[in-house]
Amino acid sequence: MADREDTLLENRAAKLARIRANGLDPYPARFRRTYDTATAIAFFEELEQTDPPDDKLQNVTLAGRITSMRTMGKAAFLDLQDASGAIQALLRQNNLNESFDLLKDLDIGDHLGVRGNLIRTRTGQVTIDALELTVTAKGMRPLPEKYHGLRDVETRYRQRYLDLIANQEEVMPVFVLRTKVIRAIRRFLDDRGFLEVDTPILVPVAAGAHAKPFVTHHNALDQQLYLRIATELYLKRLIIGGFDKVYEIGRVFRNEGIDQDHNPEFTLLESYEAYADYNDVMDMVEQMVSAIATEVNGSTKVTIGDDVIDFAPPWQRVSLREELEKRSGIDLEIIDDDALRQKAGTLGIDTKVLESRGRLIDKLLSTFVEPRLIQPTFVLDYPEEMSPLAKAKPDATGYVERFEAFAVGMEIANSYSELNDPAVQRERFEGQAEIQRLYENEDVDRQDEDFLTAMEYGMPPTGGLGIGIDRLVMLLAGQPSIRDVLLFPQMRTMSSDTNDEESE
């Protein structure tokens, strides 16, 4: 196999040398197109409808990657693909003269510019009849065999460029949709008076979530810093400073495992609105997601597997305590920590490692409740020990005003009525530190003294929201894995050893 690959590389190198020997630059600095392929085809078909047919699409210039070649003596057909689609090119010796000889030095995967006239062939295909050829980039590596059906998951994620080349019609629309989703989120929030802001990515305290951070060192400051795990505490500083509505869309980083809906870095929307609570945020989430679904898909409904998911409001709203009791038989009101651990163990939850009450409840929720939430659902009112940054629920001791939104068994949003009492917030942070002392392997929220100082200047009642954009895109694009909506998902670094292991 290696010998064959070496031969292919040598052949391409020889063709490159011949192109250069003929005085051509195989990597020009620029090339001007008059149209992309989709626009050219659409315009041509429009002109065909005029009476008599309009011939304005003569002497046009198109460009793209060669995806197929069919030679027939003194003529050849090539397929050229750009981001908008593909078009057939007809190369004829009597039109190109000596330039026709360039054909023997072209390969599938090369980029080619073509000047010519648009015609419709006898088979009915819109085609550019070439008058001039320009190599715009010579490909030095052959595309994978049968690349039109590239399905090896490892290759697709690790070499996304090959995935885009091979599966353009299937893969590229997902990432176009992703961009449309983010654009729609911005438009929705901007139209409601929110201000988009930027907050630090390198932070002295990795706070705002229960997650393990990535650690780095700043040489000039001689200081340990962290990649942010959330934007929450900085955005709430801005509410304290006087902004009423702020949001940020950006990458956050959590040193955690990788699975179908987790990647160590992901895109998070967080928004904060003064004088709002989690009820207001629930209404906003329903409106936002349904509006985005309609904008990018033309409907609030999305088909995922055998399910038709409808994001139209109102979404179902259920109590965490009641839903957990219904699904697992556990009533959080009457069960103490030891009994909870014992009951969780009998239900199949791994309790070998000693964990806090909040962590056990989270595992029970993930096991018995979340997988059953197929249609968009808000789960309301979480135990205080799970939510150190959320405001206590006045009529339910031990619970806070928090919701998580789920669809197809996956969390897509998290919201609080934000805790704004600095003394209580300090107590909550200290409680987190105690959990860390008792349960060393557990991720907790960390105390941020500067944030506590900021809170002492007064933070108004505030509704906060976090939405995992990658997961939202998964749902709206009908994709089963977060890696399918990340252009470059995190992968284990390849080495000769791992190659050998994976080949075995």
Same domain, 104 and 226: no
Q: What is the pLDDT of residue 95?
A: 96
Q: Count the domains in the chain.
A: 2
Structural domain contains residue 497 = no
pTM beyond 0.95: no
Q: What is d(CA 116, CA 89) in angstroms, rounded to the nearest whole number?
A: 9
Same domain, 88 and 175: no
Structural domain contains residue 62 = yes
- What three-state secondary structure class fits 317? strand
Structural domain contains residue 229 = yes
- Contact between residue 83 and residue 33 where contact means Cβ atoms under 8 Å apart: no
Q: What is the pLDDT of residue 461?
A: 98
Q: How far is CA 148 from CA 4, 138, 162, 175, in A?
A: 20, 20, 10, 19
Query: Which residues form the domain of 6?
Result: 2-142
**What is the residue type of 130?**
A
Same domain, 62 and 195: no
Same domain, 249 and 124: no
Same domain, 125 and 207: no
Q: What is the pLDDT of residue 146?
A: 61
Q: What is the pLDDT of residue 497?
A: 45
Q: What is the pLDDT of residue 503?
A: 34
CATH no. for residue 60?
2.40.50.140
Same domain, 281 and 189: yes
Average pLDDT of the chain is 93
Same domain, 221 and 95: no
What long-range pairs does 139-147 form, CB within 8 A, spacing at least 24? Answer: 139/12, 139/107, 139/109, 139/110, 139/111, 140/9, 140/12, 140/13, 140/16, 141/9, 141/12, 141/109, 142/5, 142/8, 142/9, 142/12, 142/107, 142/108, 142/109, 143/108, 143/109
Q: How far is CA 208 from CA 133, 139, 448, in A?
A: 57, 47, 9
Same domain, 185 and 101: no
Structural domain contains residue 364 = no
pLDDT in tens, 37-95: 999 999 999 999 887 777 778 899 999 999 999 999 999 999 999 999 999 999 999 99
Structural domain contains residue 344 = no
Same domain, 311 and 420: yes
47 membership: H or E segment, kind and range: helix 37-48
Confidence of residue 499 (pLDDT cuts 50, 70, 90): very low
Same domain, 446 and 397: yes
CATH no. for residue 441?
3.30.930.10
Confidence of residue 502 (pLDDT cuts 50, 70, 90): very low
Q: What is the pLDDT of residue 400?
A: 97
Q: What is the DSSP string of 56-123?
A: ---SEEEEEEEEEEEEETTEEEEEEEETTEEEEEEEEHHHHGGGGGGGGG--TT-EEEEEEEEEE-TT
Structural domain contains residue 367 = no
